[in-house]
Every structure is written in C-alpha cells, then in structure tokens.
Amino acid sequence: MTKTIAILVARLLFGGAFLLAAFMKFADMGATAGYIASISFPLPLVFAWVAAFFELGLALAFFTGAFYSEAATLAVIYVLFLTFAFHGPSRWDGNPMEFGFFVNHFTFIAGLLVAAVHGPGTRLVLGWRLDGRRLRLRHS
C-alpha cells in the first residue's frame, strides 16, 4: 500500500508540475515566446505553443498512466534540453542563481528516470485497473 501511495503522489507531482508549466505558457504565450527568443531559438511563438501542448500531454500521461514510461523518458530529454538551454553555463555569469536552477533540474531528471524505469504502477479506477501502456480497462 505504501508503494502505491508513493507512486500516486509522484504521478500527481509530475503531472502537476507539467500542467502548471503548460498553464503558465497558455496564460501568457507572448512572454513564453519572449523567453524562448532570449536564447535565440528560432520561431519562438511556434515553439511556445508546441511546448505548451507537449507539457499538457506529459501531464495527461502522468495523471492517467497512459504511456507513462515513454512520457517520463521524453520528459527527461525535454527537461535536460531546458536545463542547458535556459540555465546552462552561458547564463551563470550574469546571474549566479542560474547555477542553482541548473542543478535543481537534475533532481527532477533523476525522479523522471526512476519513473521511466519503474512505470506507473497499477491504478484502480472505479473497480477497473487501467493498463497504462494500451489504455485498456481490465476488471480487477
């Protein structure tokens, strides 16, 4: 039971983090595009929308358990990219706090790696178990 609760809490935390990130992007797409433009990434508004929908998809995967390990793996790659692009060594001179943000992202990545390896666990939904990989319902 403890393992099930821990996995559920982790899924809620991961899903909540990505849902909040997506919500913040949707709330001010212009600011998100501006932040993306600050690292000289091309088509900042396009990538802001892509990032928002990608994060929404990750949140849904973590909440439902659907494609959980695959989503966790993609999230590792995504967060690793964000870590170096937005908080990497080139940003440390102007703001030493960026180093702290850089290191903090690796803690998140570590959790995502554990999630990718161990999967979503089984989740009971109204007397049915959700098969996270195939979105099949199986009666328990």
- pLDDT per residue as tens digits for the range 38-91: 999 999 999 999 999 999 999 999 998 889 999 999 999 999 999 999 998 888
- The domain containing residue 128 runs over which residues? 2-139
CA distance 104 to 93: 18
Better-predicted residue by pLDDT, 99 or 24: 24
Structural domains of the chain, count = 1
Q: Where does the pLDDT of residue 2 fall: very low under 50, low under 70, confident under 90, or very high at 90 and above?
A: confident
* Tokens representing residue 100 in the block: 């702290």
User: What pLDDT was estimated at residue 51?
Assistant: 97
Helices marked H in 65-139: 68-87, 97-118
